[in-house]
Amino acid sequence: MSRRSRPREEDDRSIVSTSDWRRPRIRRTFGALHAALLVLLVVFGLGPILWLAKSAVTTTQDTLRDPMALFPSGIDWGNLAAAWNEVHIDVQFLNTIWVALGAWAVQLLVATTAGYALSILKPRYAGILNGLVLATLFVPVVVLLVPLYLVIIDPPFIHTSLINTFWAVWLPAGANAFNILLVKRFFDNLPREVFEAARTDGAGSFRLFWSVVLPMSRPILGVISVFAIIAAYKDYLWPLLVLRDPAVQPLSVRLPTLQRAIELDVYLAALAISTIIPIIFFLAFQRVFLRSAGLGGAVKG
Amino acid sequence: MSTTVQRRRPRAALSTWLRGGGLSTLVFLLPMLVIFGVFSWYPIVQAGIMSFQKTNLVTAPEFVGWDNFARVLGDPNFLIAVQNTGYFALLALLFGYPLPLVAAVLMSEVRRGKGLFSALAYLPVVVPPVVAVLLWKFFYDGRPAGVFNTIIGWVGIPPQPWIQNAMQAMPSLVLEATWAAAGGTVIIYLAALTSVPPELYDAAEVDGASVWQKVWFVTLPQLRGVLLITLILQVIGTSQVFLEPFLFTGGGPANSTVTVLLLIYRYAFQNSLGGNYGAATALSVMLALFLALLSLVYFQLTKRWSS
C-alpha cells in the first residue's frame, strides 16, 4: 500500500476547484445536490433507526394500528425495563461482551506473536508458514462450517465437547489470516536498527517483543481490535451452531427466537437496546471506525 | 548467523539452533500453530476428505467416491439455490453498486459538515445485522397497517405482500441488504477519492475541462482499481448470503429465496436426527472453488493496483 502523506490544506483539493466553486451555477447545482443527498441520508439512513427508537417506547397497540404515528397514547418507558429485567436481555448482553472480549484477546495473542515470529525473528521456515497462513484467505468460511463443527464437538487433545462454551467461538476466531497479514506488514516496516540496538543491549526475544515491538505497534493493534470486536458483535451463524443454550447465547443469536415468545413492544425495545451500544461506540470513536472501514477496501490483499 | 552453521554433527547443529533462539521462535509461533492447525488447516483438509465420505457421528466414515456430489447435483433445490443466489447477487449489484459511488463523489465535494454526511451514511452499517433484518422484517409486514404499506399508502400505492410473495421476496431481501451495507462502500470510495492525485485535476482544468468532464475523464478512471475490487468483494459476499434468507423467509415462499448457503445449512443442521455432512461439505467445496477463483482474480488485481 502506498500511504500518501496527508496533503497540506491548500493542496487538499477535490474535483470542483475553488474557481469552479465561485461560479453561481455550479454553486447552486451542488448546493441543491448536497441538500437532496442530506435529506435522502436522513430519511433512509437515519429513518429506520429513529423509527426503532420511537417504537421501543410505544405500546404494542399503537405500533400495530398506526406504525408511523408519534405516541398517540403516550410514551411507554416500561418496555425498556421489561426487556432488560423480565426477558433478561441483560444476560445476552453480558454474553455478547464476553464473546467479543474473548475473541478479541485470542486474535490479538495469535496475531502479535505470529507476526513477531514471522516478521522479526524470521526462522528459515517462515516463508512456508506465511504461505500456509495466506492460503487460508482463499478458503471461504463456508467450507469450514461442517468440519469445524465436528472439531468443536470432539476437539483433539481434550476430547470434551466445547458446545455451549465460549471457547467454541473464541478459539476459531483466532485463526484469522487477515490479522496476521496486517500485523506482519506493520512489523516489516518497523526500523530494524531499533531491534539491533535492543539486542546489543542484551534483550532476548521475549524482552524485545514485550518492551520494544508491542509498544511500537499500538496503531495496528487498534485497527485489529476494532475489526475483532465488530466481527464478534455481528457474527450470527457460527454462534448459532455452537451456542445452543440460551444462557450462553449472545444477543444476535437470541433476538430472532424472542420474536414469537414475547410481546411486540418489548421485542422492539430489546432490538433498540441491542442497537444503542454499537451506535454509542460509533459516535464516540467515529474516526477510528471510518478509518478502519476505508482501510478495509484499501489494504486487503 | 544461521547461514554459517556447519553440518558437522547433528548435536552441534541442535545446540546452535537452540542458542540462536530457535526454541523461543517456536514458542512465539505456538499460538498460531495450534489455533490455525486445529481450527483452520485441519478442518480445510477435512472438508476436502469429507466431501467424498459418508459421515455420521456413530460409525466410522466410509469413502463413497463422487456420491455426495451426485446427490447435490441431483437435488432439484440445487439449481434453484444457484439461480436464487445469482439473482440476489445481480440485484445487489444493481441496487448497491452505482448508488454509493454517486453518493461518495457528491460527498467528497461537501465543503462544510463532511463528517455529518459520512456519519449518516455509515450509521446503518453499525446496526447489528440481525437487528437490521428483524427490524425490516417488521417493516415488510403485509397488512395494510404495516410500516412500508402505510408509507406507500401516502402516495396512493396499494398494500404490497413484500416478503410473503415469491416475486417480491428476493428484491425485498436485497433492499434491506443494500441498506445495511451501502455505507461501508461509500466510506471505501471516499478514501479512494482522496488519493486521486490533485495534479490531474489541475492539468484537466488547464485543458479547460468542466466539472462533469473532470468526473468522467479523471475521477472515474482513477477509481477503476477500487471499483473492480469492491465489485469482486461484493460478488464474493453475496454468493455466501445466509442471514437475510434465513431470518426473513427461511427460504420461502415457494423456495423463492433458498440460497446456496441456506441449502448447505439445511443439509447439515436442519435434520435433528443428524445431518448429511457429506452433501453439505460437497456443496461447500463446490462453492469454495468458485469463490477461490474470484479471490484469485481479486488478489492478482490488488497486487497490481497497490504496487
pLDDT tens across A132-145, in order?
999 998 888 888 99
Domain assignment present for B113: yes
Considering the domain architecture, whether residues A204 and A109 belong to the same structural domain is answered as yes
Q: Residue B103: which of A7, A37, A51 has the nearest Cβ?
A: A37
Does residue B7 surpass a pLDDT of 70? no
Considering the domain architecture, whether residues A187 and A41 belong to the same structural domain is answered as no
Neighbours of B217 (CB within 10 A): 14
Report which of residues B109 and B298 the model is more confident about.
Answer: B109
Domain assignment present for A272: no
pLDDT at A8: 42
Considering the domain architecture, whether residues B24 and B135 belong to the same structural domain is answered as no
CA distance A147 to chain B (A): 5
Does residue A2 surpass a pLDDT of 70? no
pLDDT at A159: 86
Mean pLDDT of chain A: 87
Considering the domain architecture, whether residues A151 and A171 belong to the same structural domain is answered as yes
Considering the domain architecture, whether residues A101 and A221 belong to the same structural domain is answered as yes
B196: Cβ contacts below 8 Å, ≥ 6 apart? B218, B219, B222, B223
pTM: 0.88
In tens, the pLDDT along B54-87 reads 987 777 888 988 999 999 999 999 999 999 999 9
Name the pLDDT band for B286 (thresholds 50, 70, 90).
Answer: very high
Considering the domain architecture, whether residues B30 and B135 belong to the same structural domain is answered as no
Domain assignment present for A296: no
- Between chains, do A136 and B36 touch, taking CB under 8 Å as contact? yes
Domain assignment present for A246: yes
Considering the domain architecture, whether residues B257 and B171 belong to the same structural domain is answered as yes
Considering the domain architecture, whether residues B136 and B9 belong to the same structural domain is answered as no
In tens, the pLDDT along A21-79 reads 788 888 888 889 999 999 999 999 999 999 999 999 998 888 888 888 888 888 888 88
Name the pLDDT band for A161 (thresholds 50, 70, 90).
Answer: very high
In tens, the pLDDT along B205-250 reads 888 888 888 889 989 988 888 888 888 888 988 999 999 999 999 9
Q: How many domains does chain B fold into?
A: 2
Residue numbers of B between 156 and 185 with CB closer than 8 Å to A:
179, 183-185
Best of B36, B139, B264, B299 to substitute, by most chain A Cβ atoms within 10 angstroms, is: B36
Considering the domain architecture, whether residues B193 and B302 belong to the same structural domain is answered as yes
Considering the domain architecture, whether residues A112 and A209 belong to the same structural domain is answered as yes
In tens, the pLDDT along B110-152 reads 888 888 999 999 999 999 999 999 999 999 999 998 999 999 9
Does residue A164 surpass a pLDDT of 90? yes
Considering the domain architecture, whether residues B26 and B77 belong to the same structural domain is answered as no
Considering the domain architecture, whether residues A120 and A53 belong to the same structural domain is answered as no
Mean pLDDT of chain B: 88
- Between chains, do A147 and B42 touch, taking CB under 8 Å as contact? yes
Does residue A146 surpass a pLDDT of 90? yes
Domain assignment present for A291: no
Q: How many domains does chain A fold into?
A: 2
This model of the complex carries an ipTM of 0.88
d(CA A230, CA A243): 19
pLDDT at A158: 85
Domain assignment present for A4: no
pLDDT at A1: 39
pLDDT at B271: 76
Using omega within 30 degrees of 0 as the cis cutoff, is the peptide bond preceding B198 cis? no
Question: What whole-number percentage of chain A has pLDDT above 90?
Answer: 49
Considering the domain architecture, whether residues B258 and B172 belong to the same structural domain is answered as yes
Considering the domain architecture, whether residues B15 and B120 belong to the same structural domain is answered as no
Q: Residue A113: which of B28, B219, B284 has the nearest Cβ?
A: B28
Considering the domain architecture, whether residues B36 and B149 belong to the same structural domain is answered as no
Domain assignment present for B45: no
Does residue B169 surpass a pLDDT of 70? yes
Domain that holds residue A187: 89-261
- Between chains, do A42 and B120 touch, taking CB under 8 Å as contact? yes
Considering the domain architecture, whether residues B234 and B302 belong to the same structural domain is answered as yes
Considering the domain architecture, whether residues A232 and A152 belong to the same structural domain is answered as yes
Considering the domain architecture, whether residues B162 and B17 belong to the same structural domain is answered as no
Considering the domain architecture, whether residues A179 and A33 belong to the same structural domain is answered as no
pLDDT at B9: 57
Domain that holds residue B135: 67-306
Report which of residues A10 and B216 the model is more confident about.
Answer: B216
CA distance A40 to chain B (A): 10
Mean pLDDT of A269-280: 92
Domain assignment present for B51: no
Domain assignment present for A56: yes
pLDDT at B19: 67
Mean pLDDT of B278-285: 94
pLDDT at B230: 85
Considering the domain architecture, whether residues B129 and B256 belong to the same structural domain is answered as yes
Best of A29, A130, A146, A288 to substitute, by most chain B Cβ atoms within 10 angstroms, is: A146
pLDDT at A7: 43
pLDDT at B292: 83
d(CA A71, CA A63): 9
pLDDT at B11: 64
Considering the domain architecture, whether residues A141 and A245 belong to the same structural domain is answered as yes
Considering the domain architecture, whether residues A42 and A97 belong to the same structural domain is answered as no
**CATH classification at residue A216:** 1.10.3720.10
Name the pLDDT band for B305 (thresholds 50, 70, 90).
Answer: low
Which of chain A's residues have a Cβ under 8 Å away from the Cβ of B136?
48
Considering the domain architecture, whether residues A72 and A112 belong to the same structural domain is answered as no
Mean pLDDT of A178-189: 92
Which of A56-65, A164-173, B30-39, B86-95 is predicted with the least confidence, judged by mean pLDDT?
A56-65
Domain assignment present for A43: yes
pLDDT at B112: 82
Domain assignment present for A289: no
Q: Answer with the one of A36, A52, A84 that is the final residue of a domain.
A: A84
pLDDT at B1: 41
Name the pLDDT band for B175 (thresholds 50, 70, 90).
Answer: very high
Does residue B5 surpass a pLDDT of 50? no
pLDDT at A296: 57
Which of chain A's residues have a Cβ under 8 Å away from the Cβ of B211?
15-16, 20, 26
pLDDT at A176: 93
CA distance B191 to chain A (A): 6
pLDDT at A12: 64
pLDDT at B196: 87
Mean pLDDT of B238-265: 93
Domain assignment present for B134: yes
Considering the domain architecture, whether residues A109 and A238 belong to the same structural domain is answered as yes
Domain assignment present for B216: yes
Does residue B201 surpass a pLDDT of 60? yes
Domain assignment present for B156: yes
pLDDT at B37: 95
B3: Cβ contacts below 8 Å, ≥ 6 apart? none
Q: Residue B36: which of A13, A141, A175 has the nearest Cβ?
A: A175
Name the pLDDT band for A250 (thresholds 50, 70, 90).
Answer: very high
**CATH classification at residue B243:** 1.10.3720.10
